[in-house]
Amino acid sequence: MGGHMKPQAEPMRPEGVKAMIAIGSGKGGVGKSTVSSNLAVALARAGKRVGLLDADIHGPSQPRMFGVTKRPASPDGKRIEPLHAHGVTLMSVGAMLPEGKAVIWRGPMLMGALQQMLMQVNWGELDVLLIDLPPGTGDVQLTLGQKAPLTGAIVVSTPQDVALIDAQKALDAFGTLKVPLLGLIENMAVFTCPHCGKDSHIFGHGGVVAEAERLGVPLLAQLPIDLDTRLAGDAGTPVALGEGPMAEAYAGLAERLIR
């Protein structure tokens, strides 16, 4: 056959960004955004230049988790200046919308917004850009998986069966898109009673470990149900900023990813 192969459509590769890691989950409410914000902070504390793109179009929560209320500026109407908080370069569709406004994106608009957030934002030089995905396996995953040169994906799940079953679908989707799976994170793994010190496995036990083994990928972290994590997230100061066991757990997670 003669002729030249046409290059694929311009991939979503922001200049100056060395690695892109997508963070997904099967369903909502498992702590994907909490883990993303804390991992970003922990990587920044470890000396990495980190960006976080909140691509959870339907429920963007990173502005709240980072305590940012400012809106991103676009002085020339073309390039967008990201926000900066806690050492992390931040961009979120939530930062571009009035709080509490629901977004109903149609496919092409969604693609446009994603393209814009990746390619028109002045991310600068980054060692890693984390992408907080919407839950499940929708258009965002598909587009990013096909067009963005993702270094890999991490899937967050609770031990609860239903979350795990959904997580397996998300894992299958990354596999189909040939996005390397860097590992699983078990969130809300255990609750240790602050009064009696007894452990309770509120959302079940063992499922995420078994799934990581089955897939032959690392279980990157097992994070407990933790009041400080929830309070810090709501206050806009991720728990990984502080000292103590959760900050250490996130530092350990960051270390595992850097290695």
How near is the Cβ of 111 to ligand ADP at its closest, in Å? Answer: 22
Q: Which is nearer to ligand ADP, 20 or 225 (CB)?
A: 225
Q: Which two tokens stand for residue 218?
A: 């690392």
Contact 133, 22 (CB under 8 A): yes
Q: Which is nearer to ligand ADP, 35 or 80 (CB)?
A: 35
CA distances from 31 to 5, 108, 197 (A): 43, 28, 23
- Regarding 137 and contact with ligand ADP (CB under 6 A), the answer is no
Binding mask 155-194 for ligand ADP (x = CB under 6 A): --------------------------------xx------
Residues within window 34-93 making contact with ligand ADP, judged by CB under 6 A: 34, 61
205-213: long-range contacts, CB 8 A cutoff, minimum separation 24: 205/159, 206/159, 207/157, 207/159, 207/160, 207/161, 207/164, 208/157, 208/158, 208/159, 208/164, 208/167, 208/184, 211/157, 211/164, 211/167, 211/168, 211/171, 211/184, 212/183, 212/184
- Regarding 28 and contact with ligand ADP (CB under 6 A), the answer is yes
Residue nearest to ligand ADP (CB): 31
Residues within window 224-243 making contact with ligand ADP, judged by CB under 6 A: 225-226, 229-230, 233
Residues making contact with ligand ADP (CB under 6 A): 25, 28-34, 61, 187-188, 223, 225-226, 229-230, 233
